């Protein structure tokens, strides 16, 4: 009984450490932004840039599709 409890506690500790390490190292939380922005602001700026790029691409695809439909008539 005590062995199972000890195994469970150690297992949870390992899982917690791996989750902590993954969130802090893999996500790039310790990397400095080249422009000197804070990490949350840098993530927000990259998200905004990606959204604008996605919207531009979508609008371009819509225009291309409309042009192809007009040419097909």
Q: Where are the domains of the chain?
A: 1-31, 33-73
Please tell me which residue, 19 or 28, carries the higher pLDDT value. Answer: 19
**pLDDT exceeds 60 at position 30:** no
**pLDDT exceeds 60 at position 16:** yes
The arithmetic mean of pLDDT across residues 14-26, rounded, is: 84
Question: How do residues 56-68 score in pLDDT, each as one tens digit?
Answer: 999 999 999 999 9
Sign (positive or negative) of CA dihedral 26, 30, 35, 38: positive
Q: Has this prediction a pTM greater than 0.85?
A: no
**pLDDT exceeds 90 at position 14:** yes
């Amino acid at each position: 009984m005590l062995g199972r409890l000890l195994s469970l506690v150690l297992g949870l500790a390992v899982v917690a450490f791996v989750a902590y390490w993954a969130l802090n190292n893999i996500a790039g939380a310790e990397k400095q932004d080249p422009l000197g922005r804070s990490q949350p602001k840098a993530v927000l700026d990259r998200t905004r840039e990606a959204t604008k790029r996605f919207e531009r691409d979508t609008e371009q695809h819509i225009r291309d599709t409309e042009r192809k439909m007009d040419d097909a008539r």
